């Protein structure tokens, strides 16, 4: 055991691996021409709505996009609050799962057009792009198993946000649509990159270039969502989503969180780096309380 710990300490980590190991690191910095404090001041000028977080005792968090008068469109303040909630979730050590949903039975219509109209230069667009890519990449790397509950519409940036979740569930009448082409732009919150990973490049090109309206049946057929829920009722569909998520978060937080981190490294790192990271994560749970309890109960693992 001492030898293993010694190996863990002496093994060198690449920059990419360190990025995954350390909480709170972002993709962009001043070296990329990104000045976060300046962007925050700009976004603060566009109020409206809120990002609400409820943390349940069972280890499931519920993140609500709350701007119903504008179909839960993201104001500048909501973008700032999303980062604040992501930081809060990064520090929620008891957390295991997360459901993202919109208020009043619709997911999100993307960016608030008032902010979009005022941020008219390419430099403005790229600054917000880097801010939201930073935030949603940190969101994607959270050691929580996340699911987007798509009720009503998920449009534009709202559709992009769903791709940052590990899974997506849709209510029967809901729709997902990447409308960016019709706005004369492309997805900029990381949506294209993540969509290609979820459904493949050919399907992603169809969805984006056709600005296709994906109803729940079509989304299920192309692998965009895991399941279509039975109810379209706001309360009942949330209960269904919670029950669906519970099957994947049974067990101690430290084990669920290590599993999520391991999958993240497998997705983002090269093979050798991912394997080393898997080893390091194993060191956090092997011989731990959950491991010892399981061994004492079962003696050996049953099929």
Angle between helices 76-90 and 36-43 (to 10 degrees): 130
Would residue 10 count as lying in a domain? no
Q: Is residue 13 one of the residues assigned to a domain?
A: no
What whole-number distance in Å separates Cα of residue 291 and Cα of residue 303?
17
The domain tally of the chain equals: 2
**150 and 192 both lie in a single domain:** yes
Check: pTM over 0.95? Answer yes or no: no
Share of the chain above pLDDT 70, in %: 90
Residue 2 counted as domain residue = no
Instruction: Return the pLDDT at 12.
Output: 46
**At residue 137, does pLDDT exceed 60?**
yes
* H helical segments located in 63-176: 76-90, 113-118, 122-140, 157-163
CATH number at residue 104: 3.90.226.10
- Whether residue 239 is predicted with pLDDT greater than 60 in this model: the reply is yes
- pLDDT digit string, tens, across residues 240-262: 999 999 999 999 999 999 999 99
- 3-class DSSP assignment, residue 50: strand
Tell whether 19 is covered by a domain: no
In this model, does residue 268 exceed pLDDT 50? yes
Range of the domain at 219: 26-249
Tell me the pLDDT band of 188, cut-offs 50, 70 and 90: very high
155 phi, psi to nearest 5 deg: -115, 145
Cα distances from 111 to residues 108, 137, 142, 184, in angstroms, run: 9, 18, 23, 14
pLDDT tens for 35-55 read: 889 999 999 999 999 999 999
Q: For helices 201-209 and 191-199, what crossing angle results, to 10°? A: 130
**Residue-wise pLDDT tens digits, 219-235:** 999 999 999 999 999 99
C-alpha–C-alpha distance, residues 303 and 292, integer Å: 19
Summarize the confidence of residues 81-85 as an average pLDDT. 98
Q: For residues 146 and 275, state if they share a domain.
A: no
Mean per-residue pLDDT, 72-97:
97
Residue 2 has pLDDT above 60, yes or no: no
**Residue 210 DSSP code:** T
For the chain, how many residues are written?
303
Q: What is the residue-averaged pLDDT of the chain?
A: 90
Q: Are residues 85 and 198 in the same domain?
A: yes
The pLDDT confidence band at residue 22, using thresholds 50, 70 and 90, is low
Q: Report pLDDT for 14.
A: 57
Nearest to 175 by CA among 196, 159, 191: 159
Q: Note the pLDDT of residue 113.
A: 83
CA distance 238 to 151: 10
Q: What local confidence, expressed as pLDDT, does residue 31 receive?
A: 84
Q: Taking a C-beta distance cutoff of 8 angstroms, is the pair 175, 143 a contact?
A: no
- For residue 258, which of 272, 273, 277 has the smallest C-alpha distance? 277
């Amino acid at each position: 055991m001492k030898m293993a710990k010694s190996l863990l300490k002496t093994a060198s980590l690449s920059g990419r691996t360190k990025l995954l190991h350390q909480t709170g690191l972002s993709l962009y910095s001043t070296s990329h021409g990104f000045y976060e404090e300046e962007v925050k001041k700009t976004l603060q000028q566009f109020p409206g709505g809120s990002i609400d977080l409820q943390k349940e005792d069972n280890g499931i968090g519920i993140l609500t996009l709350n701007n119903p008068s504008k179909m839960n469109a993201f104001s500048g303040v909501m973008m700032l609050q999303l980062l604040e909630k992501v930081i809060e979730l990064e520090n929620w050590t008891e957390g295991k799962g997360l459901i993202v949903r919109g208020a009043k039975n619709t997911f999100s219509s993307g960016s608030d057009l008032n902010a979009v109209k005022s941020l008219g230069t390419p430099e403005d667009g790229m600054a917000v792009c880097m801010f939201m890519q930073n935030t949603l990449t940190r969101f994607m790397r959270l050691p929580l198993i996340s699911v987007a509950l798509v009720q009503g519409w998920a449009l534009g940036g709202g559709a992009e946000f769903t791709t940052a979740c590990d899974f997506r569930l849709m209510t029967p009448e809901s729709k997902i649509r990447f409308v960016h082409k019709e706005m004369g732009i492309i997805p900029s919150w990381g949506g294209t990159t993540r969509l290609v990973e979820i459904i493949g490049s050919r399907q992603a090109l169809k969805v984006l270039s056709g600005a296709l309206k994906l109803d729940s049946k079509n989304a299920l057929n192309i692998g965009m969502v895991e399941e279509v829920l039975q109810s379209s009722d706001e309360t009942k569909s949330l209960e269904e989503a919670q029950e669906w998520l519970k099957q994947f978060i049974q067990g101690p937080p430290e084990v669920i969180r290590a599993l999520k981190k391991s999958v993240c490294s497998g997705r983002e790192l090269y093979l050798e780096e991912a394997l080393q990271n898997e080893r390091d994560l194993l060191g956090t749970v092997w011989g731990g309380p959950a491991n010892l309890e399981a061994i004492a109960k079962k003696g050996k693992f049953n099929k």
